[in-house]
């Protein structure tokens, strides 16, 4: 069952095309990730869906409502955790949650909600006295005061240390288990692969590929990636004719061969290197991962 449907969405800022005709749909109960670098259009896309920004062209349906026209009705059904947040520093966490709940004219058990994000011991603490990871978990708790059907998380772990990041990941998994649909943006490959049922790869305002992590990796049609550096010049065309090679790319002086037969490809590569008296270095063989997928469809690494 579709809970979000986006069609032909466009948003320009002057001459800057922030979002360029994107289409995607989100199934009820899944975690849908938008993966891309800073400036790809991820946050702008979420802001339009959340009713915080306007689209130039396109349509957005959320929980059966026209999100571009029925923004107030949609806001009652969704929760939003922004990429950067600010809270009243002279209020305790329980007071903040009660305040936010009053905006929805609903009652909330603040202690119970804080327990869901493992902050029950900080219930009477002030936001300013929380660690970075605790502040992020509280912002997620605040986004759930209205018991939303859809939860939007914009870069939920940016700026956190590895331990705090993993803590938030476990929290997001627990929220999904309650049946809440989650749409998140991220530029972390590991985060997208670990959390998301499906991922949209976004770059320069466009969605270039959508699928589950497994589907995206399988789309490369390669069982392994062979990477190496070469002392001598090698033309890409000479590498493409090696048996098993499906695709060749060169990045920062390193060749990456996508191959369906790594043994045969490596044998021929080493044989050619020996015959031409060429030294290979930094040789590495690995199975394709999400980073390989991103590079294949965008032509570059995931820039920060």
pLDDT at 232 over 70: yes
d(CA 187, CA 33): 10
171-202 residue pLDDT tens = 999 999 999 999 999 999 999 999 999 999 99
pLDDT mean over 56-61: 97
For 111-130, the pLDDT digits (tens) are: 999 999 999 999 999 999 99
Q: With cut-offs at 50, 70 and 90, classify the pLDDT of residue 304.
A: very low
For residue 24, pLDDT over 70 is answered with: yes
H/E run at residue 95: helix 93-103
Average pLDDT, the chain: 93
pTM of the model: 0.88
Beta bridge partners of 20: 10
Q: Give the DSSP H or E segment for 175.
A: helix 162-177
Query: Could you tell me the domains of the chain?
Result: 1-77+148-212 (3.40.50.300), 83-147 (no CATH), 221-287 (3.30.70.980)
What are the beta bridge partners of residue 31?
A: 182
């Amino acid at each position: 069952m579709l809970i979000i449907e986006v069609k032909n969405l466009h948003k320009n800022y002057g001459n800057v095309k922030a979002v360029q005709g994107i289409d995607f749909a989100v199934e009820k109960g899944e975690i849908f990730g938008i993966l891309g670098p800073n400036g790809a259009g991820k946050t702008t896309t979420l802001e339009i869906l959340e009713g915080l920004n306007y689209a130039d062209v396109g349509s957005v349906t959320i929980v059966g409502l026209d999100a571009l026209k029925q923004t107030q009705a949609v806001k009652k059904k969704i929760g939003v955790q922004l990429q950067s947040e600010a809270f009243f520093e002279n209020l305790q966490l329980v007071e903040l949650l009660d305040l936010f709940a009053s905006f929805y004219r609903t009652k909330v058990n603040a202690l119970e909600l804080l327990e869901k994000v493992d902050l029950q011991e900080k219930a009477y603490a002030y936001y300013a006295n929380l660690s970075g990871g605790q502040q992020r978990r509280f912002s997620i708790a605040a986004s759930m005061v209205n018991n939303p059907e859809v939860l939007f998380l914009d870069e939920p772990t940016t700026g956190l240390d590895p331990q705090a990041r993993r803590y938030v990941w476990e929290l997001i998994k627990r929220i999904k288990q309650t049946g809440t649909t989650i749409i998140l943006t991220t530029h972390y490959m590991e985060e997208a692969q670990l959390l998301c049922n499906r991922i949209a790869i976004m770059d320069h305002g466009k969605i270039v590929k959508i699928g589950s992590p497994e589907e995206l990796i399988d789309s490369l049609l390669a069982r392994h990636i062979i990477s190496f550096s070469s002392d001598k010049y090698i033309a890409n065309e000479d590498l493409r004719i090696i048996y098993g090679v499906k695709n060749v790319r060169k990045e920062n002086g390193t060749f990456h061969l996508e191959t369906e037969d790594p043994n045969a490809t490596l044998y021929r590569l080493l044989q050619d290197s020996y015959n031409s008296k060429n030294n290979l270095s930094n040789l590495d063989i690995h199975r394709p991962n999400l980073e390989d997928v991103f590079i294949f469809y965008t032509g570059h690494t995931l820039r920060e």
